[in-house]
């Protein structure tokens, strides 16, 4: 849907002389990204409002997106599936944070520590459509590690301040990302396995 709308807008802009034919594809791509960002942000806010956890939805997104960019992980095959996957994940995370009894706080903390180890060990997990060269792999690993350390420091401060509700949210960021990394590794393994079977 966004591709068609973006193409129409780019055509109109070209017709009016606002952009050149050479830059029309770039303009259309930029418009698709803008529309996609608006949709994702709007969906995130709607889920937060529906769950009466708007602040938590925003905080999850702020903590998740930066490290996800550099850590990589599973990517859906289409933008629509990516949007649906992200929406379901956010809804599940908010449900866990909202309805998990406080007596299970340390269980979730232990799980998040395991998730942290997985993030440090696996990052970055590249997508087959956007492979990383050796230098990019090294840079992405360092950036993901630095962001992870920063979030751990913030989590320690939040724990000291006794904001356990927010701490659980950050811990769910790490658990969610670890799942995405593991799914990405599984997807890459299946693709490589298929290639090997075809070559044999």
pLDDT tens for each residue of 74-119: 887 777 788 888 899 999 999 999 999 888 889 999 999 999 999 9
Are residue 120 and residue 188 in the same domain, yes or no? yes
Q: Which residue has the higher pLDDT, 26 or 151?
A: 151
Q: Which residue has the higher pLDDT, 22 or 42?
A: 42
8 CB-near residues (< 8 Å, 6+ apart): none
Question: What pLDDT is attached to residue 1?
Answer: 58
Share of residues in the chain with pLDDT > 90 (%): 51
Are residue 97 and residue 23 in the same domain, yes or no? no
Are residue 63 and residue 151 in the same domain, yes or no? yes
**Which range of residues forms the domain containing residue 10?**
1-50
Cβ atoms of 97 and 169 within 8 Å: the answer is yes
Are residue 103 and residue 20 in the same domain, yes or no? no
Are residue 130 and residue 70 in the same domain, yes or no? yes
Which of 22, 47, 44, 65 has the alpha carbon at shortest distance from 177? 65
Phi-psi region of 52 (alpha: psi -120 to 50; beta: other; left: phi over 0): left
Which of 136, 129, 96, 168 has the alpha carbon at shortest distance from 88? 96
**Structure token digits, residue 59:** 């905080």
Are residue 7 and residue 82 in the same domain, yes or no? no
Which of 26, 29, 23 has the alpha carbon at shortest distance from 5? 29
**Structure token digits, residue 75:** 């990517």
Distance CA 18, CA 188 (A): 42
Cβ atoms of 148 and 116 within 8 Å: the answer is yes
pLDDT tens for each residue of 144-199: 999 999 999 999 999 999 898 899 999 999 999 999 999 989 888 887 777 766 76
Are residue 93 and residue 67 in the same domain, yes or no? yes
Are residue 58 and residue 46 in the same domain, yes or no? no
Are residue 46 and residue 123 in the same domain, yes or no? no
Distance CA 116, CA 173 (A): 10
Question: What pLDDT is attached to residue 14?
Answer: 66
**Interior angle at CA 31, CA 29 and CA 36, nearest 5:** 95
Last residue of a domain, one of 15, 33, 50: 50
Q: How many CB atoms are closer than 10 A to CB 102?
A: 9
| pTM (2 d.p.) | 0.84
Are residue 36 and residue 128 in the same domain, yes or no? no
**Mean pLDDT score, 24-31:** 71
Q: How many CB atoms are closer than 10 A to CB 73?
A: 24
Are residue 176 and residue 141 in the same domain, yes or no? yes
| Total count of domains within the chain | 2
**Structure token digits, residue 105:** 């706080």
pLDDT tens for each residue of 32-78: 778 777 888 889 999 999 999 999 999 999 999 999 989 988 887 77
Question: What pLDDT is attached to residue 74?
Answer: 86
Are residue 125 and residue 59 in the same domain, yes or no? yes
162 CB-near residues (< 8 Å, 6+ apart): none
Question: What pLDDT is attached to residue 96?
Answer: 93
């Amino acid at each position: 849907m966004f591709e068609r709308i973006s193409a129409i807008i780019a055509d109109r802009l070209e017709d009016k002389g606002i952009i050149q034919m050479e830059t029309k594809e770039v303009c259309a791509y930029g418009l698709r990204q803008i529309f996609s960002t608006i949709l994702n942000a709007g969906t995130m806010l709607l889920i937060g409002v529906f769950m009466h956890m708007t602040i938590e939805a925003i905080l999850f997104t702020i903590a998740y997106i930066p490290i996800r960019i550099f850590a990589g992980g599973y990517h859906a095959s289409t933008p629509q599936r990516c949007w649906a996957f992200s929406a379901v994940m956010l809804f599940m995370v908010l449900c866990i944070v909202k309805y998990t009894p406080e007596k299970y706080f340390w269980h979730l903390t232990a799980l998040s520590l395991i998730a942290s180890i997985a993030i440090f060990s696996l990052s970055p997990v590249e997508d087959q459509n956007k492979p990383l060269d050796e230098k990019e792999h090294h840079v992405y690993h360092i950036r993901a590690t630095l962001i992870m350390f920063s979030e751990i420091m913030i989590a320690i401060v939040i724990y000291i301040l006794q904001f356990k509700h927010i701490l659980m949210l950050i811990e769910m960021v790490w658990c969610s990302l670890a799942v995405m990394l593991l799914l990405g590794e599984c997807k890459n393994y299946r693709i490589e396995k298929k290639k090997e079977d075809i070559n044999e």
